[in-house]
Structure 1
Amino acid sequence: MTFTNPLWVTFVLYILAMVLIGFIAYRATKNFDDYILGGRSLGSYVTALSAGASDMSGWLLLGLPGAIFVSGLSESWIAIGLIIGAWLNWQFVAGRLRVHTEHNHNALTLPDYFTHRFEDKSRLLRIFSALVILVFFTIYCASGVVAGARLFETTFGLPYDTALWVGAAATILYVFVGGFLAVSWTDTVQATLMIFALLITPLFVVLALGDFGAAMDTIAMQDPANFDMFRGLSFIAIISLLGWGLGYFGQPHILVRFMAASSVKAIPNARRIGMTWMILCLGGAVAVGFFGIAYFADHPDVAGPVTANGERVFMELVKILFNPWVAGVILSGVLAAVMSTLSAQLLVSSSALTQDFYKSFLRKHASQTELVWVGRAMVLMIALIAIGIAYNPESKVLGLVSYAWAGFGAAFGPVVLISVLWKRMTRNGALAGMLVGAITVVVWKNFIGLGLYEIIPGFILGSLAIVVFSLLDKEPNAAIQERFDVAEKEYQDAHI
């Protein structure tokens, strides 16, 4: 494939645009608060779309359409669970977390928030939560690097080793230079590109098949069970798929978007924008896979790549149905999905190292400029570790992404949710909830299983541990309770 090929040209222009946004954000980054939280300046639109884009990785355009293409609508339960979980997160956590982090020493990271919310002088909450973030996000980042490499490898025929560096370099550059504002602004562009790709592609597939009725008839002729939402699924399997939604309460790269909103008043509008975007994107992804069944049944001569790997269904349909220049723009949506999630995870990991280890334990009085440059160095270090892991794409570590989602969801989810809803929660309750949630995920995954996704028992037992240990503990001091009341009043006043 030559460098004058439309796909190459559009991908290169897209990457250059993202890097340019990074340099514009660099000019707006004055201190460390700006670098890791954007100075709490995000409006509703950017808050919503950056939260959505950082959440939805390449899975949205590759994994989900591929699963629907192979197994039909029974694979859509996970999308339903994610929609429910995301809505609950926006509804109960987003606005409250925005005000609580501000009232608790203007906390910039989740470990920062936990430490100040419970006045944890032992700093155990900070250390444990920062370690959880670093371990799980390094795995996440490695999976993002692999996804980017696979995209360049399959689209342009690059050797895997070369594709690895090409895919990672642009993301690393704009995060390194522009920090949180670069990540949020590029996420907004990427989210727009993703929704465009996922709405236009199924429409063109249906038009290529004749009409909606013809497409549905062809799918039914292939296998009527494609329409069966319950095909091959037990009750436990459905609950496990829906359980993915619980993970939202504990994902640091999503929660930090709520913390960065310009004010709590921006959250309701952001929720409406974010949920509309999410429902349309997930619906489009399901439609791509579903109507792809009909298209490749009618065109078996071009079905080879998707028969070999169902996850190629989106990319193959785009390359077949669109002009190469338009296809280049749409396929940039896959790159957007990969880059948006990877960039968010790199930045949260850098924040944990810089704010929660370097500043808290090594250099308490470090200048803002020093912290920004340490943050940049941490982005580079974590990215290089992730690339090192990704050099072996078959590494078992990369199979742990669902494990990492469950780990965050169970370790942080109950703590975040209950900490913004219950004044009586204590430091020991928070620590017990984190430990029980995390340990349950590990034990359940490795020794119990029963076909149930480990986030569900982890979340339930973590929540119970918080309540039990908080009630066994003495009540939080007057200052903690007063801060909680002030934050809750500000939240309620904003929602009258």
Structure 2
Amino acid sequence: MAVDVPGLVSVLLFYICILAIGVWGSRKSRKVEKKCPGNKSEVSMVGGRNINILVGIFTMTATWVGGGYIMGTAEAVYSPSQGLIWALGPPAYVINFLLGGLFFAKPMRSKRYVTMLDPFQRRYGNIFTSTLLIPALVSDILWVACILAALGGTMSVILGLSSTVSIIISAAVSIIYTFLGGLYSVAYTDIIQLCFIFVSMWLCIPFVVLHPAVSVALETPFFNHSVEHSWVGELNLADAGKWFDDMLLLALGGLSYQALYQRILSASSSAQAQITCFASAGTTFIMGVPSVIIGAAAASADWNQTEYGSPPPFERGDAGKILPLTLQYLTPTWVSVLGIGSVAAAVMSSMDSVLLSSASLFTQNIYKTTLRKKASERELQWVIRVSVVVTGLAGSALAFGNESVLAFWLISGDLIYCMIFPQLVCVLHVHWANTYGAVSGYLTSLLLRGLSGEPMFGIAPVLLYPGWREEDGVIKQYFPYRTLAMLSSIISITTVSWLVELAFSRQFIPESWDLFGVFKEKRQTEDEAEPEPCNEMSCPLSTKF
């Protein structure tokens, strides 16, 4: 396939524009740093807690509306084995932001944390917090791979450009402006990117729906199952466990992303952080509607009437590229170029956020507090920049595979849903949670999730839950095994914490066995806070009777 030179030039101009805005954002960041010379790293990570509410809503929405979101949603609606009922992204993200605003934004922002792992560090210490960083970083790297894979597939279809080249160019642009300006560059580029996504995606819809190849299936009654390839889909009882598991993974797993808390903690107040979450619930849902329509149109189209021909994309294994294929064959050339621009914008708007979130976690919770406690602000800034580059390169390397965008999208939230979400709930809302419970919960979720297997990485399951099936020689679980691991972790944290505290407080276990020093530190804190007894010498207002 020949390279579409005009389309390629248009995309490159878009990239140059985004890079220029990112550089401009870095200048804004330096101005703020001059006002806070003793806290430059915090300016890079949370914008000096000075991001206004409108910018906050834009950058929060743009972070979630990535290549995985818009392409994964279209793929789910199009796939004959799934359909609209399996397009879980839009409703799951609404739940995610509503719960975030109600239960997580205020306790995180009111205590002026810098990262999602700060509450763990304060309660459990540096060693356990370091173990939580592992699933967080793995998840971010997989998220980068997901969104870059989405872009690579899109450019290869529409522009005829090698997916490897497109991945390298897009990753380089995102890394450069995130490297230069931190959160300010990310936030300001997100505004332009989100506006471009909204306009270009909605502009494509009329051309797709009105194309002659799109069958009358879109006009059939909503629940008419006589259509051979229904885009509505159906949910069988045997698949309900998997549907429930995937829904909760996206809805609750999203509450464990540092990228979410980076926006919450950059707000000027707790109330603003909550409003940002609530508003983002609506905007993110709206941004998913064009993908649903494109997926439905693709499922209804007679591909024999297009240059794509027969067999249809699903039978060729191209379901993961259904959004760019639809734009390529069901819209005019100039519209498809705008469509690829929207995917590129979505990719960069998410990628820069993920790069910065990983860099922030490592710098704040590992380097600054454990490795180099006396590191200068300039040194911390360079650690952030180097971390951005390393994360970007690691995610880019994984993006060169041919895995489904939808699969990457789900797996990126898998570990943090099973391992970090239960820990976050307990550290914020369970006052008796302690290090012993946290360690037991971590090991419980790690063991259950590991033994459940992962087909994407060729890991066969050891635990076979009810309803498992063997498909094409691969065993797949249809029981909500991720949710089981998550709930088991919460039960383990709360129960073990309570039992251990009871055992030490009643002296069933001697204090010398307190390996983590939890209760020794607790007693020292209570002793320091306890006021001195009032007597004649210390209380001059006392009266002797």
Q: So what's the TM-score if we normalise by structure 2? A: 0.77
Note if contact 1:174-1:182 (Cα within 8 Å) is conserved in structure 2.
yes
Shift of 1:408: 0.6
2:345 matched to 1:336? yes
Correspondences of 1:194-273 after superposition (within 5 Å): 194-208=197-211, 215-217=218-220, 222-223=227-228, 225-230=230-235, 234-244=239-249, 245-273=251-279
Pick one of 104, 114, 123 that aligns with 2:120.
Answer: 114
Pick one of 184, 193, 196 that aligns with 2:196.
Answer: 193
Q: Which residue of 2 aligns with 1:387?
A: 396
Correspondences of 1:6-85 after superposition (within 5 Å): 7-29=7-29, 30=33, 31-71=40-80, 72-77=83-88, 79-85=90-96
Shift of 1:303: 5.0
Q: Which residue of 1 aligns with 2:463?
A: 448
Greater RCO (Cα-Cα under 8 Å, separation 6 or more): 1
Note if contact 2:73-2:89 (Cα within 8 Å) is conserved in structure 1.
no
In structure 1, what is the Cα distance between the partners aligned to 2:28 and 2:375?
A: 21
Q: Which residue of 2 aligns with 1:293?
A: 299
Which residue identity lines up with residue 176 of structure 1 in the other structure? F
Can you give the 5+ residue segments of structure 1 that lack an aligned partner in the other structure? Answer: 482-496
Shift of 1:467: 1.3
Structure 1 pair 2–150 and aligned structure 2 pair: CA distance change class (3 A): closer
Note if contact 1:10-1:325 (Cα within 8 Å) is conserved in structure 2.
no
Note if contact 1:53-1:191 (Cα within 8 Å) is conserved in structure 2.
yes
Q: Which residue of 1 aligns with 2:440?
A: 432
Larger Rg: 2
Note if contact 1:18-1:186 (Cα within 8 Å) is conserved in structure 2.
yes
Which residue identity lines up with residue 482 of structure 2 in the other structure? I
In structure 2, what is the Cα distance between the partners aligned to 1:139 and 1:214?
A: 36
| Farther-moved stretch of structure 1 (316-325 vs 278-287) | 316-325
| Farther-moved stretch of structure 1 (157-166 vs 21-30) | 157-166
Shift of 1:32: 0.6
Which residue identity lines up with residue 341 of structure 2 in the other structure? S
Correspondences of 1:171-186 after superposition (within 5 Å): 171-186=174-189
2:378 matched to 1:372? no
In structure 2, what is the Cα distance between the partners aligned to 1:213 and 1:272?
A: 37
2:354 matched to 1:345? yes
Pick one of 472, 493, 516 that aligns with 1:466.
Answer: 493
In structure 2, what is the Cα distance between the partners aligned to 1:321 and 1:213?
A: 15
Note if contact 2:320-2:404 (Cα within 8 Å) is conserved in structure 1.
no
In structure 2, what is the Cα distance between the partners aligned to 1:9 and 1:479?
A: 66
Q: What per-residue deviation string (whole Å, max 9, x for no partner) do you get for residues 47-81 of structure 1?
A: 23322322233222222212212223232345434
Pick one of 287, 291, 299 that aligns with 1:281.
Answer: 287
Correspondences of 1:161-172 after superposition (within 5 Å): 161-172=164-175
Q: Which residue of 2 aligns with 1:149?
A: 152
Q: What per-residue deviation string (whole Å, max 9, x for no partner) do you get for residues 22-51 of structure 1?
A: 212212322111112211222233323322
Shift of 1:270: 1.6
| Farther-moved stretch of structure 1 (416-425 vs 373-382) | 416-425
Q: What per-residue deviation string (whole Å, max 9, x for no partner) do you get for residues 87-136 of structure 1?
A: 22232212332213x1xxxx3222233112x1x34x22221122222333
In structure 1, what is the Cα distance between the partners aligned to 2:244 and 2:61?
A: 23
| Helix, strand or coil at the partner of 1:227 | coil
Structure 1 pair 261–376 and aligned structure 2 pair: CA distance change class (3 A): same
Shift of 1:231: 5.5
Shift of 1:203: 3.8
Note if contact 1:40-1:259 (Cα within 8 Å) is conserved in structure 2.
yes
Note if contact 2:358-2:388 (Cα within 8 Å) is conserved in structure 1.
yes
In structure 1, what is the Cα distance between the partners aligned to 2:178 and 2:524?
A: 37
Shift of 1:176: 0.9
2:424 matched to 1:421? no
Q: Which residue of 1 aligns with 2:539?
A: none
Q: Which residue of 1 aligns with 2:543?
A: none
Note if contact 1:68-1:286 (Cα within 8 Å) is conserved in structure 2.
yes
In structure 1, what is the Cα distance between the partners aligned to 2:194 and 2:19?
A: 16
Note if contact 2:76-2:406 (Cα within 8 Å) is conserved in structure 1.
no
In structure 2, what is the Cα distance between the partners aligned to 1:294 and 1:129?
A: 45
In structure 1, what is the Cα distance between the partners aligned to 2:227 and 2:217?
A: 12
Which residue identity lines up with residue 268 of structure 2 in the other structure? S
Q: What per-residue deviation string (whole Å, max 9, x for no partner) do you get for residues 241-277 of structure 1?
A: 3222221221222232212222112134323321111
Note if contact 2:73-2:291 (Cα within 8 Å) is conserved in structure 1.
yes
Q: Which residue of 2 aligns with 1:487?
A: none
Shift of 1:464: 0.9
Q: Which residue of 2 aligns with 1:131?
A: 134
Q: Which residue of 2 aligns with 1:491?
A: none
Shift of 1:289: 0.7
In structure 1, what is the Cα distance between the partners aligned to 2:494 and 2:525?
A: 17
Correspondences of 1:398-417 after superposition (within 5 Å): 402-417=410-425
Structure 1 pair 15–196 and aligned structure 2 pair: CA distance change class (3 A): same
Structure 1 pair 227–396 and aligned structure 2 pair: CA distance change class (3 A): closer
In structure 2, what is the Cα distance between the partners aligned to 1:231 and 1:195?
A: 34
Shift of 1:376: 0.8
Q: Which residue of 1 aligns with 2:110?
A: 99
In structure 1, what is the Cα distance between the partners aligned to 2:207 and 2:335?
A: 12
Shift of 1:302: 4.4
Shift of 1:288: 1.5
Which residue identity lines up with residue 156 of structure 1 in the other structure? L
In structure 1, what is the Cα distance between the partners aligned to 2:147 and 2:370?
A: 30
Q: What per-residue deviation string (whole Å, max 9, x for no partner) do you get for residues 318-368 of structure 1?
A: 345555444433321111222222222221222233222322233212221
| Helix, strand or coil at the partner of 1:109 | coil
In structure 2, what is the Cα distance between the partners aligned to 1:99 and 1:277?
A: 25
Identity value in percent: 20
